Structure 1
Amino acid sequence: MAVLELFLICLGVGVGAGLLAGALGLGGGVVIVPALIFLFRGLGFPDDLVAKMAVATSLSTIIVTSISAVRAHHKAGFVRWPVAVRLGVGIVLGAFAGAFIADAMKGELLTRLFGLFAMLIAVQMLLVGRKALDESLPQRVPGTPGLALAGVLIGTGSSIFGIGGGSLTVPFLSWCRLKMQEAVAISSACGLPIAVAGTLGFAVAGWNEQHLPEGALGYVFLPASVGIVLTSFPFARLSARLSHRLPSATLKKVFALVLFVLGLKLAFG
């Protein structure tokens, strides 16, 4: 496949990721990773490298898109920075380590694990609604050691699956009884260190890999990363502005079904 053709396909992947992220509040990694797995397979990349490169490339795109989200939530005043920082310390360690854990896995195992993860996210989207917070209950935010440990677990899982961490961070912060606006805002703030540390980890872990294609920085495939970022960022902003006009509930169900089928295919071939 010519470089131009690859670049155009990745522009399309970015459009899809951006539209779904803006309309449904999804992290782009849930869209980008499976798309890249199928694309990299089609390009004939070595089987053991496909999932690792898809995850690493997905994380690299989140660096750019998360900056805008953090700015927006900070401007709205919903980011509780003391909580975000204490989580972030563990997240950086976990995300960096997660890249090496993923590197140690067989590519087929990593693909299957992502498939199972995608199926779980799809089921959650279909069945789980957001419950209203009972504000009469006290918050139960752990101290610094507890938040750092949670950050390590969130960062590790997010790095392995190539996501910004929202599907892990938001449920944890909801369990801590934070308001949903605060949980989402803190999750967005934590997405940046996940993406940066995870991308660096995958770049280092794959640095001496002998069978990487031209254009790869470790496991990060730069041509795909640039193409996705160029469209995902502006289309996410556009979709967010139009989201009140879109049938979000219906779109969410349709996407969840598609994601479940993709996850099924990745997990069980």
Structure 2
Amino acid sequence: MPDQNIYNDALFFEGYSKLRWSETGLNKVMEEPAIRSLMPGLKGKRVLDLGCGFGHVARYVRKMGAADVLAVDISDRMIEAARQASDDPAILYAVTAMQDIEPMPGRFDLIVSSMALHYIDDYAGVVAVMAESLTAGGSFLFSIEHPIFTSLLQGWVVDSAGKRLHWPVDRYHEESERHYTWFVDNVRKYHRTVATYLNTLTDNGLTIRRVLEPEAQPEFLAERPALTDESRRPPLLVVSAQKFG
């Protein structure tokens, strides 16, 4: 099945754009600090930004000294917005689905994917191509919605007063396509276990270096007390793996 192109839906794109550019989601308070903490030295590195969205990662790695960046996304709306946000000639933006990328042996020192791999059905195929496309010593670093989060997709169980009681987990070992409503109906994601995410990396010759289940950074808790609920269940999983030999 081809990658989902939900970000080209006009209503979804409008809602997501407001969330992302206003920094009111979990990216700024959890995901970005976590993924940046695991990045290797970037000076002179060749980087692939996989599922680049608005190009936040591409611009950041260039700021930190990366030599060049190939930033790809299935959504031409996202790519156009990313191009408008940067005039850096060392960032090449391309409208490409992850599952259509051909191996580029030894092309990249770092491959980064921010909150995108849970949208694709052929995770194993993408990992195989990414592993082949890394140079020896190169790193594959990604963030996804945590499998505890994607297992049910119905949100918090609340009492009659609306108080959050618990986060339900069900059908965890049933790896399958899941649908839910986020800005629009029928957003498609793929649920996999933590074991599948990690073992697929090692099956393709990568060594897992670090795994994070980030919480909100303390400096944001005073401004947004509701973030304390995010520590009751992990919304994100961040993984760093490396290619040796």
TM over 0.5: no
| Bigger helix fraction | 1
| Bigger strand fraction | 2
Coarse TM-score class (shorter-chain normalised)? under 0.3
Give the number of the structure with larger relative contact order, counting CA–CA contacts within 8 Å between residues 6 or more apart. 1
Q: TM-score, normalization: structure 1?
A: 0.26
